[in-house]
Structure 1
Amino acid sequence: MKRFAAVTLAALMLLTVFASAASAADSVEIRGPVFNGSNIDDIVGDGVTIDATQFAAFYYDIDDNVTTETLSIKNVSGNSGNVIGEGGIVYSTTIQKVDYEYEKPSLGWDNYSLLGFFADKYIPLKSNSADKLAKLVLDSDDKYTVRTGETLDLGQGYSLQAKQVDVDGEKVWLEFDKDGEYVDDEIIDVGTGDSTWDVELDDIQDEDDVVVLKVHVNQVFQGAVDSIAQIEGIWLIDYANAIKIESDDEFGDLDDVSINGDTLNITNEDSFTLTRDSINELAEGLSFKVADTPSNVLRFYLAKEITEPGTYEVRGSVASGEASWDASNFAGFYYDLNDNVETESLSVSDLDGNVIGDGGLVYQTSIKEVAYEYENEDLGWEQYPVIGFFAEEYIPLKSNSADKLAKLVLDSDDKYTVRTGETLDLGQGYSLQAKQVDVDGEKVWLEFDKDGEYVDDEIIDVGTGDSTWDVELDDIQDEDDVVVLKVHVNQVFQGAVDSIAQIEGIWLIDYANAMKIESDDEFGELDDVSISGDTLKISNSDTFTLTRDSDQEIAEGMSFKIADTSASDLRYYPFVERTAGNETTNVTGPSVGGNVTVGENVTTPTDNVTTPETPEDLNATTPEATTPEEPTEATNATGEEKEDSPGFGVVLGLVGLLGVVYLVRRNN
């Protein structure tokens, strides 16, 4: 038994030493138009209003051209500098009618009442009153097949179960459940034509006969093995979490509520300060993001931060004819708020009906300079060139040429602490490892890896003041001396157990996947490429049809969504898709990678460590650390010369394992 315990302890210690599971929550930011002026009075004038055509987070139905929400900044007496006075912010939303995704008016699938509420879709429990709401869970015309005994997950804990299927009688017995508990059931006769089941419940926020679920069964049939029901048309609200809004409710800084039938208005009772260089939460996930500017400049936009897992559409303003978009009216395009920098534009001209003529669809982008998130001009952290490329942030390998690009992986001024032997995941397979830390000498030996393979390393002397390591590589798309990584080490210090290096300032490009753009390249429907120094222009050499009731890809994940309208009308907008959700990555330290946001780890979990390569020398984990020896040379996987261990470091996990081995032998 003692031997088993010792072996188990050894296994657990190995799991501790080589722990590699962590998750980082991604988010999607959807922004509204940018307001830029000397102060709030200069910006507001007689008042400004943001609606769904300008702010992609607000509810918008392109087919019916329906919006419900607006946010206004009013000209009130309390406005001054960067302060919006009492009653100066007004959020308003009004119930509207929209069509079901599954349209069958003869079967009761014509339209329903909907209210956008702080950029989420809600259903009023009473069609003419905005005070009692339930979030819309599902509105779908997709087809689903369910076999006898199968359960269809509808989301938010709701589900449908096919209890039995009667093929000959053309019937199916469905059960509706919430969190596995029975709610209602019905035998649906598909043969009669009345094949829709409306689930009505009572006492939902004191309201009775509330339709919470609509299900249309298309047909029943016999599969190779099972009897199957085909469902086409599902509509569901989250009745279990329905809310009642009252006049004394508060929604963040919007706390003056007025309900007038089908309209809800909420304003601020107190003044609201647009604090520079910060995100100022307004209400229910809506915020004002304010630039880091001097006191005589005020620049900000309305933003919605989405963290709930899913794929979201980030769209531009709605057009009905020839139009153009840049970062001010298309939130998908790259934009730097602090430096007020945008690079991309998209235009439509030569439009005949719904057909764009040759060369009428033009995408253009140019290189601009922006500041590093970690700003320290004395250490070389001033500005770097950037270029938006189909709504993604890229870095030109040459600052004056737009033909060779690498995607920006990381630009962060967050603080990260790494212990001797720990690895910091930078995302996209890139990582930094703290090989050894010399506290007394104020040095840290860092190694830069790609997919676990050595790329470069450096001993950084924090004490000299030149504590930034620029990793320069050659032969990146035939370019030499390309800076692919910048790391600033803030300090080294002695923790309770380990010697620790604190990193503040990381910048990284995905050099391994750098690309070269040439004149004969094609990007979806854009295939006429022109490169002129720092500017890239791509247009269509063939006609482009805006097919109604469809999504038409333009290029590289960018598309047009076109409304289902009559031939005499046209309504469309550009969009890109962004995904939010928990991203699980294999890490051995703090996870800072991610496509949208960077983790905010300030310290590293002690169990997420890897094994240092030089356990025989304890100098790096004691206050008596010494200056490292000069490294010797070896050849790495890329053909460059790699420095061996300077000879200082320790593995506490290995010491523990040796102790376990002793216990096993002793008990034998």
Structure 2
Amino acid sequence: PTPVDMGEDYGEMEIQSASGYTITMENSDDIDLEAGEIVDIMGNLKFLVADDDTLRFALYEEITEPGTYDIRGTVYDTGKATWDHMNFEGFYYNIDDDLGTEKLVVEECSGNTIPEGELVYTTTAQLVDFNFSKWGSYDIVGFMAEPYLAGYDGKETDNDITNDYISLISKDMLSKVLIDVEDNRMISTGASLQLLQLEEGYELKLIQLDVDGGQAQIELLKNGISVDTDIVTSPDTYVYTKDLGKLDDVPIVVVYIGNVFAGTESDMVIIKGVFQISDDSIPIDSGYEYGEMMITSATGDKITMKNPDDVDLEEGGKTMIMENIGFMTSEDGARYYPFVRRTVGTLNSLEIELPENPVVGEELRIRVTSVGAPVEGACVTVGGEYIGTTNPDGEVRFTPDAAGTFTVTASKRNYNSASVEIRIIGGSAATADAVIALQLAASGEWDADADVNGDGKVTSLDALMILQMAVKDSGAVPEIVINELMPNPIGTDRGNETTELYNCGDKPVDIGGWVLENEDGATYNIPAGTIIEPHGYYLTTEIQLDNGGGYVLLYRDGEEVDSSIAYTYSTEGLSWQRRIDGLDTDSDGDWIYRDPTFGVSG
């Protein structure tokens, strides 16, 4: 039982009396309401205090237990009623700027039925400050209890983001605000802090830093695929733009790159602010329906929705009207209130599954799961090197080029990260089998696969025979890969479009007579006697690369040896290239789009 004796303390509150059915509590000491702070009152009850010179604060309950909850508004007798951000906590409200945009009005309710056109929802776009104040303001609109970008204001929005008026609402669309934070987050060239996780599969990767010059080379990826690279001189704002609907070059991701400095083990950069909107806009065209509501007008900065049909309120039940917004009606139908449904989740942990006895030079699959299910889009590193993100099966492929013990990490937003160690054996698979055979011989154990001698036990002779078989099979062709492509060189394209091959092996390879083929079927026969030295390069401008998209295949004696990324765009002066020379996991994540590195290690 919970004690309610007089004088009992709960947080900042003390029980003054408990008589009959009434308990009275008061604060036993002064409560300081500091601007921008969250103040604990008792249990899960807290005050949220506005970050403003004018004192404003709101009482709320913090919910951490996973589940689905309904946030309700003020209860009214069934009939005419009006709710906005002041009496319906589910609606969007910015307490710092004292800004709310949404209103829901029941203009007539006959019995438990709201007649056609009598349920009216309106919302009006307003200027709101970015949480990172240097960026100024943007136009926001609460829409169905969520914050949406209505547009960027050419005068009020910082010029580092855009100089233009970009109005989404005037083009009959909105984009959800996913992140708007002032931050002091650090990313570094070290593996564990190399990525800034964003929403919708985006992540910002730090490639390298020039501490003396105060420059950061960064890469933006979506679902593991590079979509942008840039060099930012700190402090400055990085902006990634994308076409949305009828609008070109809409800022989607905005990150403020702060100070660059050298650490003891890696170089670091401070992220001071992050803003992101969805790259999947929603329509607000007149006539478009959301649940029981239909947009009747979207003009200027105002959106209006009404019910095109009667809405029957279920007595003693819940009636959804649009997205996560609904009405709860009492058992006798005499009272009702609106609610917004929210889901509180929990952070599940990632788990990493590794293959047995991995060997240098052999492709291995790393699988990431959570609660037994595969996790798509998890970022995986091996020994501090980013190797890609997992596919829908939770897998990413990786071919190790060095033996040793390495740390494998997996991370994804809204999951607890995981890390395990992997021991990679040097040499070929046969070498690894020989090592296993020697280990079994030393331990006195037996294994049918290792007993190649067939004498019913595993000895050093078995290991020697395994190695001898490996020598007989050593005539395999060392791996040659398509390493870099430049479809759109500076100046004239034809005759300057460059394809690079790379020898991943430790022996020279004669590629004379091998064939390169583009997506149109055009081929180029590599001249006889062409040799690529170990870890060397071969460059040619004889195969045509289309600017708008394409790929290149490599053949030896009619058999496909390798294929490039199927690129879909190009920018003058930049090339598609493997992140690390020879990195080949059969994933688009192997590739990066940046300044060319032909003939040298990227």
TM-score, normalising length: structure 2: 0.56
Letter paired with 2:270 = Q
Structure 1 vs Structure 2: percent identity of aligned residues? 33
Q: 1:483 aligned to 2:241?
A: no
Aligned twin of 1:269? 28
Q: Which residue of 2 aligns with 1:551?
A: 318
SS in 1 for 2:290: coil
1:244-273 CA-partner distances (Å, limit 9, x unpaired): 333343222113543224322211122122
Q: Structure 1 pair 244/269, CA: closer, same or farther in 2 (3 Å)?
A: closer
- Per-residue CA deviation, residues 285-333 of structure 1 (Å, 9 max, x unaligned), is 2111111222xx2211111111111111111111212101111111111
Report the Cα distance in structure 2 between the residues aligned to 1:257 and 1:506, rounded to whole angstroms: 47
2:10 maps to: 251
Aligned residues: 365
CA contact (8 A) 2:148 2:174 kept: yes
1:244 counterpart SS class:
coil
The structure 2 residue matched to 1:579, chosen from 343, 350, 368, is 343
Structure with more strand by fraction: 1
389, 403, 408: which is aligned to 2:177?
408
Return closer, same or farther for 1:256/1:520 CA change in 2, 3 Å cut-off: closer
Q: Which residue of 2 aligns with 1:428?
A: 200
Q: Residue 583 of structure 1: CA displacement?
A: 3.4
State the alpha-carbon separation in 2 of the partners of residues 607 and 424 from structure 1. 18
List per-residue Cα deviations over 1:517-558 (Å, max 9, x = no partner).
Answer: 211211111125211121110101221111212211111121
Q: State the Cα deviation string for residues 544-575 of structure 1 (Å, max 9, x = none).
A: 1112122111111211111111xxx5211111
Matching of residue 469 in structure 1 with residue 231 in structure 2? no
Aligned equivalents of 1:529 and 1:263: distance in 2? Answer: 49
Equivalent residues of 2:45, 2:59 under 8 A apart: yes
Q: 2:128 aligns with which of 370, 374, 391?
A: 370
Deviation at 1:644, TM superposition (A): 5.6
User: Relative contact order: is structure 1 or structure 2 higher (C-alpha 8 Å, sep ≥ 6)?
Assistant: 1
2:124–2:302 Cα contact (<8 Å) kept: yes
Q: What does residue 525 of structure 1 align with? A: 292
Q: What residue is the counterpart of 1:313 in the other structure?
A: 70
Helix, strand or coil: the match of 1:447? strand
Unaligned runs of 5+ in 1: 1-132, 134-242, 589-604, 617-630, 651-668
| Number of the residue aligned with 1:298 | 55
Structure 1 residues 482 and 576, CA gap change in structure 2 (3 angstroms): same
> Who is 1:389 aligned against?
143
Choose the corresponding residue for 1:540, options 277, 300, 307: 307
Decide whether the 8 Å contact of 1:423 with 1:587 is kept in 2.
no
CA 609–363 in structure 1, closer or farther in 2 if over 3 Å, else same: farther
| 1:639 lines up with 2:569 in the alignment | yes
The C-alpha deviation readout for 1:389-428, integer Å capped at 9, x for no partner, is 1111111254372521111111111222112262221122
The answer for the alignment partner of 2:209 in structure 1 is 437
Tell me if the contact between 1:334 and 1:391 (Cα under 8 Å) persists in the aligned partners: yes
Once residues 232 and 387 of structure 2 are traced to their aligned partners in structure 1, the CA distance between those partners, rounded to angstroms, is 18
- Trace 1:215-234 onto structure 2 (pairs within 5 A): none
Do the aligned partners of 2:290 and 2:323 also contact (CA within 8 Å) in 1?
Answer: yes
Aligned residues of 2:102 and 2:142 also touching (Cα < 8 A): yes
Q: CA deviation at 1:510?
A: 0.9
Equivalent pair of 2:90/2:339 in contact (CA under 8 Å): yes
1:65-117 Cα shifts (integer Å, max 9, x gaps): xxxxxxxxxxxxxxxxxxxxxxxxxxxxxxxxxxxxxxxxxxxxxxxxxxxxx
Q: Is the 8 A contact 1:310 1:579 kept in 2?
A: yes
What do residues 450-474 of structure 1 show as CA deviations (whole Å, max 9, x unaligned)?
Answer: 2222221211101xx4x11122223
> Closer, same or farther in 2 for the Cα pair 1:258/1:359, shift >3 Å?
same
Q: Secondary structure at the match of 2:138?
A: strand
* Contact 1:491 1:502 (C-alpha < 8 Å) held by counterparts: yes
Q: Distance in 2 between matches of 1:358 and 1:515?
A: 25
Deviation at 1:341, TM superposition (A): 0.8
Partner secondary structure for residue 359 of structure 1: coil
Is the partner of 2:130 in helix, strand or coil? strand
Q: One-letter code of the match for 1:281?
A: D
Query: Alignment partner for residue 283 of structure 2, among 516, 520, 527?
Result: 516
- What is residue 82 of structure 2 aligned with on the other side? 324
Q: 2 CA distance for matches of 1:608 and 1:346? A: 55
In the TM superposition, 1:111-150 aligns within 5 A as 133=1
> Which AA in structure 2 matches 1:438?
D
Q: What CA distance in whole angstroms lies between the structure 2 residues aligned with 1:521 and 1:288?
A: 39
Alignment of 1:60-79 (within 5 A): none
Q: Partner residue of 1:497?
A: 265
Q: Which residue of 2 aligns with 1:448?
A: 220
Q: Secondary structure at the match of 1:273?
A: coil
| Aligned partners of 1:253 and 1:282 also within 8 Å | yes
Flag the 1:638–1:337 CA change in 2: closer, same or farther, 3 A.
farther
CA RMSD of aligned residues (A): 3.2
Could you say what secondary structure the match of 1:350 adopts? coil
Distance 1:564 1:540 in 2: 24
Describe the shift of the 1:582–1:538 C-alpha distance in structure 2 as closer, same or farther (beyond 3 A). same
Mark the runs of 5 or more structure 2 residues left unpaired by the alignment. Answer: 152-165, 353-379, 389-399, 402-484, 489-546, 550-566, 582-602
What is the CA-CA distance between 1:375 and the residue it aligns to? 1.1
Letter in 2 for 1:354: N
Task: Summarize the Cα distance change of 1:574–1:469 in structure 2 as closer, same or farther, 3 Å threshold.
Answer: same
